[in-house]
Chains A and B, each alone.
Chain A
């Protein structure tokens, strides 16, 4: 019987020796996730923020000039700057990670449809706090869309709102507040990336639900699903409705009207560029989800999975090109081609959300709301 005891003591001893090694730092496969993260941070995300912030600064300057002496010409300049910001935003929208996630950058920047009545009541009372989530649908780029395009029927009447209208001071203040909140939120995220967050983001190169690759990949899919597919097309055309009750007033850039297609295509392209690791605003490519899949030699239906994915992105963009510039009118005249575009985007999501993440061992994000 002593032997049994000795054996057990020995086992205990051996196991305790083994504990010296403790837990391995993290799980990894053969692919260099650090290089992927570095490419994302240095060549895609940070350059996107740089451009976005500089465009917001231009916007602020033109907005200040407009507020100082409103006229139609300055309004046009302001609209052009707003559109540039909105287009770049389609890239930035994807990176809901780090400070952007904490400050809810996407919700405060681009929640639509806008609550125009809330904007008007904020303006007339002059008493509002844009930092409260109750004002989420009364600020951001959709609020600027309204302030620059929607508050009156003609350009001349819009200028009147900022000059001779009894509430002109409040309109100017609101415009200024919306612009400066957009800018300050963007700058705080940009500053964080350029400060400590870049290092934290790249160092978190493991494979787990909190790892950078896992999180940003989930962000990319989420953006394509909820922001691109659902918000830009699915909801306005009431995709699931039986029968559908189309809601053209829910399109992006409702008041400008002729830029919805542009913004949609920018959004799909931003997603595809991130997938391919394409440097922001250049043609060069670096380590990416595509190179990750290729390194692991993942195939689907006899083709490289990355090729399948790119084919689907291309098909979705090609279909989107057939849409009207103005979704508000287009949806009402021919819902079907919007539905097809929505399905094409969905087919990208399908393959990303099943084949790709399973090949890369990335667990789909899910917030369980069961409580206790």
Chain B
């Protein structure tokens, strides 16, 4: 391969400067044709870009594309098509050339994995820093992208620690349930069910209820993903308003030049793990499809645990013409898991495998539909419309606590059996149903201000949810019986039934103003109207009667944000942004299920700001980096406090500040040690987040001045990947320093047998992965937690514990894949 980076960058600089110098004269239509250098046949579906990353379009069946309003002068083009070497070339554009012809060189018969990886990475690097993609604006934001196909280990097991190893500062619950439940957080936000991120799949919401119940029970199989996109707090304007930002799971796209491609992967692993992933995709004329089925089962590492999951997904798309595309997606997930409960510190040290919950079950059913229309109104204006709906449920049954005691304590109470071995307590059953639909429309247009291109985005979203939750007595049995037995056990103390009608509309806009050739400012806004309602009743145990509890909160929220980007050349960018965020009050914040406390009349959304300032780019040809500092101001955290007037009251009680330095450095060692070996790939990455935090105000005693929970000071993930021809190996080391789990900063106490609170000790994990490809066959294998460290990442206050949720010890997996 002739391709070298330095000259490439050099040319880009030259191209950029020349392009801008001669930016005065604008020409009309130019025809660009792309052909195979050997056969001279036209190449369809080749992507044509400017070196800035701006996409001009995709070639049609005749291998050509018409480009409007090109500037006169030297222009640097980049063209790629998956079966050809990337072509970068400089062209002199003048008023008398009407057509430019590019000739591409085929990549050759069979590429090794290393070559293919390098090729994909090159393409990705060309595209990644684009300020605009489709109908979304990324300028000035901290964005991170995981190229899932390049991840060596942890795909079949949905191991977020490995798959998201290059996303900075991720705090992950290593649950060891075959990746059924993704729980990631960062920057001091609770990882539980990824609730502090706006979680999307191919751009639409997948959580239970975006505002009132932002927990994500479903996330797609990693084996089906092409990218995981993460945009930090500044995503609040265009997406959800969560402090964490956006996580978007981008699934693989159908192959355009094949009618059918079948991939089947089977994985076996430690603790009875078996998974099958089968996908088909292809295109027939203007119609394309991608579908997968994923089965998982496992026994889990601990006693009393197992799971069985079925997940299916289909994506169908039809391209009417170059301008209009419609796609339809359907997702199904159903799983049943037996859960072993939590442990105390004493029990964990004694034997992390033990379990004292023998009849706790959890079931999820998730059905998502989405319809997306993408339409180019003109060459400068694009429109997209997403309509999506969810019909889902989550059901949890299990022994919670012993209500015969004066102070039932889920952590201390044992699940008692009588002399005949029958359980004497009815189990607690909690059923949530989620029915919601939403639509999001976006319009993005490019226009000029003083001959400089500006980009304007306007969008609107409407979201309507109708969810319910019911809690009450379940059976005394041991099976996964999700029926209520309220008639049989009317005295059961935890009984409630609520409806949560929720309505939300939003209008949002952003605009990129290019102040100079290298400096842009992107201000934005978001206006939301939210109506959060909770209607229902709960059993008041003091009078043994159901008491109604109806609440409705209407509010208008106006958020502002601004981003700036200084990008003097294509290998350096200084970016910064400040934006407002808020976390909507959730259903559980505003309803009461006990007469012993009240919800404050003026309880309101948790508000705050996030800001990033950072640099990203490349130093020489061997180091790429993204390093930034961030600050997150969290105002009005909701909590429950004792006040002398009313007793226990839930209200906005605390303010916190979380700040840190986050960086990802990637060194390409291949260029240093194996420069002349094109069959070798070798890189080292260091992903670090140093985060500190403080509650600087709190109405709770003993909290002011304490650190925020879930903030390890050091969060390090580092590793190296080495590839030779079709063989790849990856080593990854993860280290998180100690983190607190409660606002009073209860320290780690190995003698603790009575409390759910306590710090999570520092832990480190070493993972090793291999992959090898031979023709249509690929095998992947690996060892997770090679050091066999006994550790945990979570202390559950209630479900699915309570207590320490053990993470897995050393484990192995082996995947066999074939492609047809």
B747 touches A206 (CB 8 A): yes
**Which residue in A133, A353, A367 is a CB contact (below 8 Å) of B644?**
A353
A102 part of interface (Cβ distance < 8 Å): yes
A204 to B758, CA, bound (A): 12
| Shortest distance between the CB of A240 and any CB in chain B (Å) | 8
CB pair A350–B405 under 8 Å, yes or no, is no
B272 within 8 Å of A (CB atoms): no
- The answer to whether A8 and B702 have CB atoms under 8 Å apart is no
Chain A contacts for B408, CB-based, 8 A? 367
List of A residues within 8 angstroms of B574 by Cβ? 1, 4
Interface assignment of B416: CB less than 8 Å from any CB of chain A: yes
Using Cβ atoms and an 8 Å threshold, which residues of chain A touch B706?
27
Given contacts A16-B714, A361-B701, contact A5 B627 (CB under 8 A): yes
CA distance A127 to B418 in the complex (A): 11
B746 within 8 A of A: yes
Q: Given A5-B615, A8-B627, A372-B799, A210–B758 Cβ distance below 8 Å?
A: yes
Q: A152 CA to B722 CA in the complex, in Å?
A: 86
Is B658 part of the contact surface with A, judged by Cβ < 8 Å?
no
**A102 with B753: CB separation less than 8 A:** yes
Q: Given A353-B642, A369-B593, A371-B400, A27 and B745 touching (CB < 8 A)?
A: yes
Residues from chain B with a CB closer than 8 A to the CB of A27 are 705-706, 745
Q: CB within 8 Å of A: which of B643-658?
A: 644, 648
Chain A hits for B468, CB < 8 A: none
CA distance A127 to B323 in the complex (A): 81
Given A106-B406, A209-B742, A210-B752, A8-B663 contact (CB < 8 Å): yes
The answer to whether A12 and B746 touch (CB under 8 A), given A1-B572, A132-B418, is no
Assess the A12–B688 pair: CB atoms within 8 A: yes
Contact A129–B418 (Cβ < 8 Å): yes
Taking a contact as CB atoms under 8 Å apart, the answer to whether A366 and B703 are in contact is: no
Chain B neighbourhood of A22, CB < 8 A: 713, 737-738
Q: How far is the CA of A134 from the CA of B418 in the complex (A)?
A: 10
For chain A, what secondary structure do more than half of its interface residues adopt (helix, strand, loop), or is it mixed?
loop
Best-surrounded residue of A23, A106, A200 (most CB of chain B within 10 A): A23
When distances are taken between beta carbons in the complex, the residues of chain A under 8 Å from B407 are: 222, 367
Contact A129 to B419, CB < 8 A, known contacts A5-B619, A357-B701, A372-B430: yes
Contact between B629 and A11, CB atoms less than 8 A apart: yes
> Is B17 interfacial (CB-CB < 8 Å)?
no
Question: Does B471 have its Cβ within 8 Å of any Cβ on chain A?
Answer: yes
A284: interface (CB < 8 Å): no
B450 at the interface (CB under 8 A from A): no
Which B residues between 280 and 296 are near A, CB-CB below 8 angstroms? none
Question: Does A306 lie at the interface of the complex (its beta carbon under 8 Å from any beta carbon of B)?
Answer: no
Asked if B714 and A367 sit within 8 Å, CB to CB, the answer is no
Complex interface residues of chain B between 388 and 446 (CB less than 8 A to chain A): 396, 400-402, 404-409, 412, 416, 418-419, 424, 428, 430
* Interface residue ranges of A174-223 to B (CB < 8 Å): 196, 200, 204, 206-211, 214, 222
**Best-surrounded residue of A97, A204, A222 (most CB of chain B within 10 A):** A204
Which residue of B416, B742, B751, B754 is within 8 Å of A133 (Cβ)? B416
Interface centre among A9, A350, A362, A363 (most CB of B within 10 A): A363
Residues of A within 8 Å of B568, CB to CB, are 1
Task: Please report the C-alpha to C-alpha distance between residue A1 and residue B615 in the assembled complex, in whole angstroms.
Answer: 9
| Bound Cα distance from A305 to B471, whole angstroms | 44
| Cβ distance A143 to chain B, nearest Cβ, rounded Å | 15
B629: A residues at CB distance < 8 A: 8, 11
Given A104-B405, A371-B799: A19 and B714 within 8 A (CB)? yes
- Whole-angstrom distance from the CB of A141 to the nearest CB of chain B? 15
- Docked pose: A136 CA to B406 CA in angstroms: 10
Bound together, the chains give a CA A149 to CA B288 distance in angstroms of: 86
**CB nearest neighbor in A for B344:** A102
- Once bound together, how far apart are the Cα atoms of A371 and B713, in whole Å? 29
Please give, as numbers and ranges, the residues of chain A lying within 8 Å of B758 by CB-CB distance. Answer: 210
B624 to chain A, nearest CB (A): 12
Q: Is the interface of B mostly helix, strand, loop or mixed?
A: loop
CB distance from A228 to the nearest CB of B (A): 13
Cβ–Cβ < 8 Å partners of A206 in chain B: 747
The answer to whether residues A12 and B627 also contact, given A353-B644, A362-B701 and a CB cut-off of 8 A, is: yes
Measured CA separation A214–B627 after assembly (Å): 42
Cβ contact within 8 Å between B412 and A362: no
| Chain A residues whose CB sits within 8 angstroms of the CB of B40 once the complex forms | none
B661 and A11 contacting across the interface, CB-CB below 8 Å: yes
User: With an 8 A cutoff between CB atoms, is B640 at the interface?
Assistant: yes
**C-alpha spacing A16/B407, complex, angstroms:** 45
Q: Scoring A residues 128 to 162 as 1 if CB is less than 8 Å from chain B, else 0, what string do you get?
A: 01001110100000000000000000000000000
Q: Are B742 and A12 in contact (CB under 8 A)?
A: no
Contacts of B663 in A (CB 8 A): 8, 12
On whether the beta carbons of B749 and A5 are closer than 8 Å, the reply is no
A368 at the interface (CB under 8 A from B): yes
B396 touches A16 (CB 8 A): no
- A364 on the B face (CB < 8 A): yes
* Complex interface bits, A48-71 against B, C-beta within 8 A gives 1, otherwise 0: 000000000000000000000000
A370 proximal to B (CB < 8 A): yes
Q: Name A337-372 residues within 8 Å CB distance of B.
A: 350, 353-354, 357-358, 360-364, 366-372
Which A residue sits closest to B569, measured CB to CB? A1
| Contact between chains at B494 and A208 (CB < 8 Å) | no
B713 touches A23 (CB 8 A): yes
CB of B625 within 8 A of CB of A5, answer: yes
Q: Which residue of B lies closest to A26 (CB)?
A: B747
The yes or no answer to B89 lying at the interface (CB within 8 A) is no
14 contacts between A and B (CB under 8 A): A8-B627, A8-B661, A101-B754, A107-B405, A127-B419, A132-B418, A133-B416, A133-B424, A207-B702, A209-B742, A369-B494, A370-B798, A371-B400, A372-B800
Q: Which residues of B contact A (CB under 8 A)?
A: 396, 400-402, 404-409, 412, 416, 418-419, 424, 428, 430, 471, 494, 542, 568, 572, 574, 588, 593-594, 614-615, 619, 625, 627, 629, 640-642, 644, 648, 661, 663, 688, 690, 700-703, 705-707, 713-714, 737-738, 742-747, 749, 751-755, 757-759, 797-800
Other contacts beyond A127-B419, A208-B747, A353-B642: 16, CB < 8 A: A5-B627, A12-B627, A12-B688, A15-B690, A19-B690, A101-B754, A102-B754, A104-B405, A133-B402, A136-B405, A354-B642, A354-B644, A369-B593, A370-B593, A372-B396, A372-B799
Which 9 A/B pairs are nearest by Cβ-Cβ distance? A133-B404, A372-B799, A361-B702, A210-B746, A15-B690, A208-B746, A209-B744, A208-B744, A8-B627
